[in-house]
Amino acid sequence: MKTLTPKGQISFARIPKRQALPLPTILPLDFGVRIRRAIRQDMPQWARLRKALWPDCSVADSEQDITKFLSQPERYETFVAADGNRLVGFLEASLRNYAPKCKTSPVGFIEGWYVAPQYRRSGVGRALVEAAERWAAGKGWTEMASDALLENTLSHRAHKAIGYDEVERQVCFRKVLRARK
């Protein structure tokens, strides 16, 4: 693994904030990690990273999801962080018609965001989010939203650090229904 440079020395920051990036997006970070759009060939590593973020998600489920994302580029976009041929992070973004407290529709939504532990705190997560924000802004959307589990305080801190305001807390419920014929 490459040695990471200290936090803050990220070439990504030199890209003008509102500049539209040509596709495919390739954003270099100082220590060799690149942010780019995910492609079909990424599927095995992408599924491995999904498993690290969502341990209950089977490889088969991930393959199904990934196939769906890649076949609907108007609705889904995924960015990966690659260190050479090795994927070390991903961000799955989508179009959502509604997100809590958003004033516009549709909005971009961060569905999944993960960076491998050895690569954290070096700007990779932020670069993934900025790539997704550029994707959403390029579609003309003016808001980006996200969510996190109540107990995932690391994620709360990371979201706030990159400019996201907390707007709502939620508790989810479930009930199994009796089959009716």
Q: Return residues touching ligand COA (CB under 6 A).
A: 7, 53, 113-115, 120-126, 148, 152, 154-155, 157-158, 161-162
Measured from the CB atom, the residue of 59 and 154 that comes closer to ligand COA is 154
Measured from the CB atom, the residue of 54 and 71 that comes closer to ligand COA is 54
Minimum distance from residue 29 beta carbon to ligand COA (Å): 10
Q: How far apart are CA 172 and CA 18, in angstroms?
A: 36
Minimum distance from residue 25 beta carbon to ligand COA (Å): 17
Measured from the CB atom, the residue of 56 and 74 that comes closer to ligand COA is 56
Half-sphere exposure of 106 (CA within 13 A, CB side): 15
Q: How far apart are CA 10 and CA 106, in angstroms?
A: 31
Measured from the CB atom, the residue of 108 and 125 that comes closer to ligand COA is 125
Closest by Cα among 181, 170, 123, 122 to 146:
170
Minimum distance from residue 157 beta carbon to ligand COA (Å): 4
Angle at which helix 59-71 crosses helix 43-53, to 10 degrees, equals: 120
Q: How far apart are CA 32 and CA 99, in angstroms?
A: 35
Closest-by-Cβ residue to ligand COA is 125
Minimum distance from residue 175 beta carbon to ligand COA (Å): 25
Measured from the CB atom, the residue of 61 and 155 that comes closer to ligand COA is 155
Secondary structure (DSSP) of 86-103: EEEEEEEEEEES--TT-S
Minimum distance from residue 174 beta carbon to ligand COA (Å): 20
Q: How far apart are CA 46 and CA 121, in angstroms?
A: 21
